Amino acid sequence: MLICVLGSQSPFAVLGVHIVRTIAAFVLNDFHYVHATTMAQLNEAWQSRNDRPVVLYSDYLEPRLVDILVKSGAPMVWFLDDLQDCALYCAKARDVELRLGVVFTIQSLCSFARFIPQPFITRLWRPGPRATLGPLVRKIAEGYQLDATDDLVARVCQHLTGGAEEAEAALVEDQIRKIVATALPIGAHASLPRSEQMMLKDVLGGYSALFGDHPTKFRWPVSFFISGSPPHAPVLGPIDMTGPARCLLFGPQLSLPEGRWVAHAAFAVSENYSGNILKVDVVSAGKVAAEAVGDLPADGRFAVSIPFENVSNMFPVDLRIMMMSGAIEGTFELLHAWLEPLALADPAHAEPPQPVRSRRPRRRADGRRF
C-alpha cells in the first residue's frame, strides 16, 4: 500500500505531511515513511518496508515516478501555498537570493503539472489566518477516502496539539509555527520592496494560472536573463554590440511544464550601421529545440516567435540570443520575453526577427521577409 503526499516547498506542506503521518499512525498503526523524489529512492524504501504500508512525501518528482503515480489513480493530497510566499520561504530557508527561491518553487510545481487535471488529486491550499485545525484534518482524511469520523478527527487534533483543550479549534497558523521555526506568515511577500514584489508577480503569475481552467501566457522578466559575456551578470539594460560574434544573453533558466509552446521576444537595436545577423534559439532538456535567424537593420524595435516542444520539466528552458558576426558599433536591448501554449499562439510561427513598428520589410536570400 502506497500513500502519496505532494507538497509545494512551504511550511504548510510540512504541517500537511505531519498530519498525514499522524492519521496513518491511528488508521494503519505501523507504516514506513520516506521522502523521495526519484524512482530509485522509492524502490529502496519499498524493499525495506517489511510489508508495511509506505507513506511517500515529495516536493519534487522525476517524470518516471509521476507516470507511475498517475497510472495508479490512487487518491493523493497536494498541499499548496501562494507561489509568491513559497518563493520567499524557499529563499529565506536556504539563505539564497530571491531569484533562486523562484527557481526552486517553479521546479517543484512543474514536476507536479501532470497531476493538476487528475480527479484523484485533492488540492488543499493554505487556509486563512483564522482557520482551525479540525476542518483541515477532516479534509485530509477525506482526500484519502478515509472515514473521517468525529472520533478520528478529535484524536488526531489532540495528538497534534499535545492534548490541548478544544484541540480542533486550534489555529492552523499556530501549528505551522510550532513545527516550522522559519515559517513566514500568509502574504509575507507583500513586505518585500516593490521591485521584488513586481518581479514575483510577473514571473509567477502565469504559473499560478496553471490551476485555472484555461491555458495562459507566461512572462519571463528581463532581470532573469544573464549576459553571455563574463562575468555573466544579470542583464540590466542595453548591451554594447561592439566585439566578436557571441551570445548576447540567455535565460531565464526556469522549468516549464512539458508540452508544445511558443516563445516570444521583443528587442531594440540602435546604431547597428554595419548590419548583423541575429540567431534566437530555445534550449529544452539541454538541446536546441528550435531557432530563428534573421538580418538586423541599423535600428528599430523587433520581435521573434519560436514554437518548440518542451520534452522534460526536469531541465530549465533557455532562450538564447546570439550575434552571428562581429560588430564595430551598435547596442542591443531585450525589452520583453514571454511564452504561451501553442494552442493559443498566432498560426504564423518561427518567423525571423520582425519589425514591431511599421517599416518597409526587406527580404533575405531565401525570399522570406523579416
Domain harbouring 59, CATH code: 3.40.50.300
Boundary of a domain, candidates 152, 170, 188: 188
Residue numbers of the domain that contains 314: 214-355
d(C-alpha 85, C-alpha 74), whole Å? 29
Query: Which stretches does DSSP call E strand in the chain?
Result: 2-7, 32-35, 54-58, 76-80, 121-125, 218-219, 226-227, 239-240, 246-254, 259-270, 276-284, 287-296, 300-310, 317-323, 331-341, 351-355
Boundary of a domain, candidates 172, 188, 204: 188
Summarised one tens digit per residue, pLDDT across range 212-260 is: 756 678 889 998 999 998 888 888 899 999 999 999 999 999 999 888 9
| 230 and 125 fall within a common domain | no
| 268 and 120 fall within a common domain | no
Neighbouring C-beta atoms of residue 142, cutoff 10 Å: 14
| 159 and 29 fall within a common domain | yes
Asked if residue 53 has pLDDT above 60, the reply is yes
Count of structural domains, the chain? 2
pTM of the model: 0.85
- Reported as a pLDDT band with limits 50, 70 and 90, residue 356 is very low
| 153 and 238 fall within a common domain | no
36 within 8 A of 45, measured Cβ to Cβ: yes
Q: Which grid cell is 28?
A: 494503519
CATH code of 306's domain: 2.60.120
| 184 and 244 fall within a common domain | no
pLDDT at 344: 61
| 54 and 99 fall within a common domain | yes
pLDDT at 297: 84
| 260 and 169 fall within a common domain | no
d(C-alpha 95, C-alpha 91), whole Å? 6
Asked if residue 286 has pLDDT above 60, the reply is yes
Summarised one tens digit per residue, pLDDT across range 111-166 is: 998 898 889 999 999 999 999 999 999 999 999 999 999 999 999 999 999 988 89
Asked if residue 187 has pLDDT above 80, the reply is yes
Asked if residue 9 has pLDDT above 50, the reply is yes
Mean pLDDT to the nearest integer, 46-66: 91
pLDDT at 165: 84
Q: What does residue 219 show for φ and ψ, rounded to 5 degrees? A: -100, 135
| 297 and 331 fall within a common domain | yes
pLDDT at 236: 85
| 219 and 175 fall within a common domain | no
pLDDT at 364: 39
- Reported as a pLDDT band with limits 50, 70 and 90, residue 208 is confident
| 246 and 287 fall within a common domain | yes
| 176 and 281 fall within a common domain | no
**202 assigned to some structural domain:** no
Sequence-ordered alpha helix ranges (H) in 34-166: 39-47, 63-72, 83-94, 98-111, 133-143, 150-160
Percent of the chain with pLDDT over 90: 70
| 71 and 161 fall within a common domain | yes
| Encoded amino acid at 51, one letter | D
**24 assigned to some structural domain:** yes
**360 assigned to some structural domain:** no
**55 assigned to some structural domain:** yes
Boundary of a domain, candidates 188, 203, 234: 188
